[in-house]
Structure 1
Amino acid sequence: MVWQYRPALDGLRTVAVYLVLCFHAKLAWADGGFVGVDLFFVLSGFLVASLLLEERYATGTIALGSFFARRMRRLLPAAFVVVVATALVFLLVAPVTRRLDWVGDAQASLLYVANWRFLHSSNEYFGADIHASPYLHFWSLSVEEQFYVAFPFVLLGLVTLKRWWRPAVVVGITAILAASLGAQLWWAHHDSLHAYYGTDARLYQPMAGVLAAIAWRHLATRKRALRRAGWPMLVGLVVVASSAVDVSQSTRGLLATVFSAGLVLTVMTRTTPSLDRFLSLAPLAYLGRISYGTYLWHWPVLLLVTSAVDAPAWADALLTAAVATGLASLSFELLEKPVRTSARLAVSASPTILVGLTCSVLAAYAVVPRVLENDVRPALVSDSVASSTPSALAGSALPRTTAAPKPDPRAREIARPGDPVPKLDWAALKESRGAETSFCTLDDTTSCIGHRGTSGLHVMLVGDSHARVTAPTLLKIAEQRNFTLSYSMVPSCPWQEGVVSTYTNPETKDQCQRARAALYDGLLKKMKVDVVILTEMPRSSGAWSKGLESLTGSTASVDELDLSTMTSSLRKIRAAGVKALIVDSWIQRYDGVDPLDCLASARTVGQCAFRPDPPPLADSILHTLAIGSHGAIRSVSLNDIMCPTLPVCQPVLHGIPVWRDVQHYSTEVLLDHVAEIRRRLVSSGLLG
């Protein structure tokens, strides 16, 4: 059966791209709109396989160079423009602290490995909001490009079997599909992000399209097999994309793949004439032809729209669709079509591929970093950066301490609200996370020791990322006081036994369980620990309503679970003959303002000051437990050291940002106050 263009296939592309747009705009009915990507994957597999198989039938071979050059001319120009244009636009609206994270995202997008980049950086696609990377949507284009690179070689290898190449292709593709489907099902139960981003777990979808291309040559003469199936297939896909069904991401993907392959076959065999006519309507077909550009533009446009306009989701979706579609149309007419149809570029494949790769690499490593790392205040940010900043701060005077030596006359001062934001190393601040993960087990009691002292006192720091941020400061204190310091700290891991964070990856969750199991099953006695210092992010109702997972299957609320496990864990600590020093919950920002983003956007430090919320209930309960422990449990607060101007907190002390993000003090500010923190810890009476 000879390959022929079907405008209805472009109609399907239109369905796919606007399903994704509705999902990203968070329309209530489109919880599963991300399956539009699945339809794109199936279409890609079908079209590429159809073209390559047609070439094999017609010429007896497959010209890989020509294929790769055509793909490059089709995909690279628009992607190149979107990546660079997005960097330039966000230079005007986003602070450098946010843009720094996007350098690697943009580079991965240009090199078509974005899916692995986002997977390994644990970006939550389904929780993406206005602070997400404007390059997040490039993950799916990376999966497609990886398929485009690998599949021709697979097909070429299979067709070398000469006489048996047709059955070999069917068996080989089916085997790859089965292996990928197995990976999807396995990862769905072990790491949902890998199931979504991983090429291995997604390959079954373009391979389903490949099998559809093979089947089409047979079904084209047996139309009864798909008669009147078109509309049910389309309805099925839309239902799967909607909020009407409550199934997992993986299950949606499997169902969408079946419906997508069925839709492609019904369109190609024209077994549902009314559907074929509908999808072939000129407006739908045109929107499908420019759908690649619409997909490229819609996500950064949506981020800009939602940041600038406080409107209902449907209004965000309409405005985004209008702008992204308009940009896609311009891109298609002025850039994509001329490059794709250029007779000059079609003459030789090698120069086209070389120029395309060179442009991608140069943009990735010369252009993008220069733009996104530019330390310039966003030109389109309001002077009132932090909306929560109390107006009463304007012109108020705060106490000053001893001035620092030059060059910064404010370096040792508590910043006044009207002081300009000091020059800061934003990249270093964002990357500074304190010490690395470290914990001992019953079989390994030495690797977690940070300092061996001779005073006879052994202190262990226990907690999550708050412990990691505190560790460098406590290490200095251990060296000054000459006590032994060891660690049991894992990010996103509460200090108490019996709970883990659901907001983390499987590897970290496993580390947390192993660390806490060892700690409470004899490690304290085995390592002869005298005092544990316990610190962690406060986890209570609200944002953590589903974020704390009981290892015993308890269905108690987060607050009840938190309190019960803290109480039982403290009993175990005391039973081991160990004293406990509990660090009060740190002051955090709950107003949606990222501290470093605010400082990078602000003209004065006072624009980023804020009034902290009252301390969480857990702190007062732990204080009560400490009072009744006869000195074996004490609590200590660092908050008045970090915020000496309460009830309003300034974002900078001694020229150093107090907060690295909304949840953590900066490692640098804690180190800067090591003397005060040492006196505070010693005053507890537990450090000798």
Structure 2
Amino acid sequence: MGVDTRAADRSAGPVLAGRFRGDIEGLRGLALALVLVGHAGVAALPAAFVAVDVFFVISGFLITGLLVDEIRRTGRVRIVDFYVRRAKRLLPAASVVLVASLLLTYLFLPPIRWSETARDALASAAYAMNWRLVEQSTDYLRSEEAPSILQHYWSLAVEEQFYLVWPLLLLAVARYVTRRTSARTGTRRPLPRSRPGRHRRPFLGDRTAPWLLAAFAVVGVPSLAWSIHLSQSEPARAYLVTTTRMWELALGGALAILSGHLTRLPRSAAITLGWAGMATVALAAMLIRPETAAYPGHLALLPTLGAVAIIAAGPSAGRHGPALLLNRRPTRAVGAVSYSWYLWHWPLLVVAEARWGPLGTTAGLAMILCSAVPAVLTYHLVENPFRYARISRARVLRMGLVATGMTVIAGIGLHLAVRPPPSPGPAELAGAVPGAPPGDGRTGAPVDRFARITPDPLGARDDLPDVYRDDCVTQAQDASLRSCTYGDRDSAVEVAVAGDSHAAHWVPALQAIATERGWRLVTYIKTTCSFLKAPITVAGRSDPSCTEWNSRLRRALTGERRPRLLIVSSVTQIPLVDGSTPPPGSATADAQTVALSETWSEVTAAGLPLVVIRDTPSFTVDMAECVSAHRERLTACAQPRERALAWGVPQERAAAAVPDARLADLNAVICPTERCPAVIGGLLVYRDAHHLTATYARSLAPQLHERLRQLVSPRLP
């Protein structure tokens, strides 16, 4: 696909067209090094992720340079040839690592991860991984799962989605300039074909630059504005979506359009500009704080403009500029294998952490170095042979289909390899021991195996309270007051339960009680939002939706129609606006105790009886994943009780400080020994690192009802 164009002006193509830039190869190596040390956990570079922005600028510069050079030399953009080149460059190595990652998942990762990894592989093969991660990041129930072995494919997806649009836009500009020039000169004679091995003289001159830059403005300016806005309102989504990153690739493209002017920079100015760019990228990596930064947004201007300065300064600065470091054999060598190394490093890190637990910085760096071995092999045996092979379009298409097909088949195979058994019926559940201590009942010690575990850990993620299926949960950024009613809907005995997901995981037990005792149970649940007056932070930023939701909820609860009883529970790692979450333990910040006390005092002062269910254990280990990996050695999943319950101290102190608040603590049942078991009486206790499975929570209904009866009798039947 192409378009013939003509113009009166004569101009040399981009100065750098057809000439290798060693400093850019070295810049790719530097950017990769930032990515690698960041993923290894080097604390001195908390924002090493800015290297991705540098990669985007480099990609935009190089790819746009090729496109613009083709437009200026030939008057056309051969779209099909462009995508054939992209396929030869990217698909072979990407497909090899995708299939290898699926094999590594099967061999080394817990079965609970297999199905999701298979879906990740399909998304990666379709260059849509960033949108899959967006979906997961906005799904609270999935947001705390272990990172995908393929999550690094998100940046490749962003690039390829951009290049679905960018060449077509430049092609449209070329066609417009041709028609405009032809209309002005009155010439419509078609261009002669070039002879093989020879170039025509350039015929689209400097007059094209303003129009090509207009293409940058059309893409870049709205994308940057959207990036700034979305980074403030939805930071997790903003980091991954293509629309907030397009301006970075377009910025590199704008530099390529102006590349003919790069040699006009005075040498001293170019040297200063280049080193300033290096300093800007380094400072961005060291000073941007991911826990509080609204990224990419305007902060991404630091690494991107830094990269632009480095690239722009190169031709004039020479060896006295950043090329002094970048155009060296070691940095160029890293840059050459950067694509394959980027593909390989993350899967090996994920596998290592799954096998040996969290890696320290030293171990992380060691795994990074190990990943260089398959990277170099892939570069020499896969990437380069396909990249430089003389292959017809049709053959490239067939190869692309085969490569993608291999990934799809491997992904489907992995997905089919894991099939959780059907959920047990009531009769089978009756054989379990609801709420009973683990082991033989005498010592209460965790045991290594049960004949059957319910729910099966492979289906634990979906063993959820009904409030999620019934769309009764207020999501992030939403302040609306959603509620659902369970039990006897016509009962005069109304019991309300309010809080975050740790209140939600008690709903199955409360439903069972409400049905048996004839209560009307009303739920008020909001994601990542405790029942609390004080403003809280989410991802390092204040969450006004939580504050507004709490205000509306307190008005509803203390209005004319009040429930007979209010039950609250929440995760106790509450990051307040006034300070970050402190370490757990008896010395937990007084601010959290005060905030809880003030909220509960307001409710009880209005005459509303209050029961606080003390928070359940919280671990650093995903218990469902651990059980799926250690079915025959469940004691490997048992975690220290004291550490797991340390976060609940503020609740205990606040309940003691509010005279009319009552504390219901069921942790003597949930974790009865010094090490908390993952399975009790054949029931899987946790669906992740801190949420109870609905099945296990339901088994606690007798104990919870007895405790409520003791605390608030005779208010409840």
Q: TM-score, normalising length from structure 2?
A: 0.79
Per-residue displacement from partner, 1:382-403 (whole Å, max 9, x unpaired)? xxxxxxxxxxxxxxxxxxxxxx
2:623–2:637 Cα contact (<8 Å) kept: yes
Q: Is the aligned partner of 1:607 residue 2:636?
A: yes
Q: Is the aligned partner of 1:473 residue 2:497?
A: no
Q: Is the aligned partner of 1:182 residue 2:225?
A: yes
Counterpart of 2:605, as a letter, is A
Which residues in structure 2 correspond to 1:535-684 (within 5 Å)?
535-539=569-573, 546-547=580-581, 559-589=589-619, 592-602=620-630, 603-613=632-642, 616-625=648-657, 628-629=659-660, 633-643=661-671, 645-684=672-711
Of 512, 517, 529, the match for 1:493? 529
Counterpart of 2:340, as a letter, is G
Which residues in structure 2 correspond to 1:333-412 (within 5 Å)?
333-343=380-390, 345=391, 347-348=392-393, 352-353=396-397, 355-357=399-401, 359-360=403-404, 363-364=407-408, 366-371=409-414, 374-375=417-418
Per-residue displacement from partner, 1:448-496 (whole Å, max 9, x unpaired)? 3334534411111111102222223322322222222211111211122
Which residues in structure 2 correspond to 1:439-450 (within 5 Å)?
448-450=484-486
CA drift of 1:108 comes to 2.3
Matched residue SS, 1:494: coil
Return the alpha-carbon distance in structure 1 between the equivalents of residues 323 and 664 of structure 2: 71
CA drift of 1:148 comes to 1.7
Is the alpha carbon distance of 1:409 and 1:518 closer, same or farther for their aligned partners in structure 2, counting shifts above 3 Å? closer
Q: Is the aligned partner of 1:290 residue 2:337?
A: yes
CA drift of 1:226 comes to 5.2
1:143–1:199 Cα contact (<8 Å) kept: yes
CA drift of 1:173 comes to 1.0
1:540–1:558 Cα contact (<8 Å) kept: no
Range with greater deviation from structure 2 (89-98 or 75-84): 89-98
Q: Is the aligned partner of 1:687 residue 2:716?
A: yes
Counterpart of 2:638, as a letter, is A
Q: Is the aligned partner of 1:139 residue 2:154?
A: yes
Return the alpha-carbon distance in structure 2 between the equivalents of residues 236 and 485 of structure 1: 60
Return the alpha-carbon distance in structure 1 between the equivalents of residues 336 and 351 of structure 2: 25
Return the alpha-carbon distance in structure 1 between the equivalents of residues 382 and 35 of structure 2: 24
1:462–1:495 Cα contact (<8 Å) kept: yes
Aligned equivalent of 2:183:
none
Return the alpha-carbon distance in structure 1 between the equivalents of residues 272 and 341 of structure 2: 29
Of 368, 375, 389, the match for 1:328? 375
Aligned equivalent of 2:310:
263
Which residues in structure 2 correspond to 1:224-235 (within 5 Å)?
227-229=270-272, 231-233=274-276, 235=278
What is the RMSD of the two structures over their aligned residues, measured on CA atoms?
A: 3.6
Per-residue displacement from partner, 1:112-136 (whole Å, max 9, x unpaired)? 2222222332289xxx999432222
Range with greater deviation from structure 2 (465-474 or 493-502): 493-502
Is the alpha carbon distance of 1:569 and 1:17 closer, same or farther for their aligned partners in structure 2, counting shifts above 3 Å? same
Aligned equivalent of 2:286:
243
Range with greater deviation from structure 2 (194-203 or 617-626): 617-626
Per-residue displacement from partner, 1:291-341 (whole Å, max 9, x unpaired)? 100111122223345566799966345423432222221101111111122
Counterpart of 1:562, as a letter, is Q
1:230–1:275 Cα contact (<8 Å) kept: no
CA drift of 1:243 comes to 2.5
Aligned equivalent of 2:198:
none
Aligned equivalent of 1:109:
124
Structure 2 portions without partners, runs of 5+? 1-12, 181-207, 421-425, 441-446
Return the alpha-carbon distance in structure 2 between the equivalents of residues 546 and 119 of structure 1: 26
2:472–2:482 Cα contact (<8 Å) kept: no
Return the alpha-carbon distance in structure 2 between the equivalents of residues 181 and 407 of structure 1: 55
Task: Give the number of aligned pairs.
Answer: 635
Counterpart of 1:624, as a letter, is A
Is the alpha carbon distance of 1:418 and 1:546 closer, same or farther for their aligned partners in structure 2, counting shifts above 3 Å? same
Matched residue SS, 1:461: strand
CA drift of 1:266 comes to 2.5
Return the alpha-carbon distance in structure 1 between the equivalents of residues 99 and 500 of structure 2: 38
Residue identity (%):
23
CA drift of 1:372 comes to 6.1
1:493–1:501 Cα contact (<8 Å) kept: no
Is the alpha carbon distance of 1:319 and 1:370 closer, same or farther for their aligned partners in structure 2, counting shifts above 3 Å? same
Return the alpha-carbon distance in structure 2 between the equivalents of residues 672 and 309 of structure 1: 34
Range with greater deviation from structure 2 (305-314 or 515-524): 305-314
Aligned equivalent of 2:553:
519
CA drift of 1:75 comes to 0.7
2:554–2:603 Cα contact (<8 Å) kept: yes
Structure 1 portions without partners, runs of 5+? 378-403, 549-556
Range with greater deviation from structure 2 (240-249 or 199-208): 240-249
Return the alpha-carbon distance in structure 1 between the equivalents of residues 115 and 210 of structure 2: 50
Counterpart of 1:279, as a letter, is L
Aligned equivalent of 2:67:
52
Counterpart of 1:665, as a letter, is L
Counterpart of 1:606, as a letter, is T
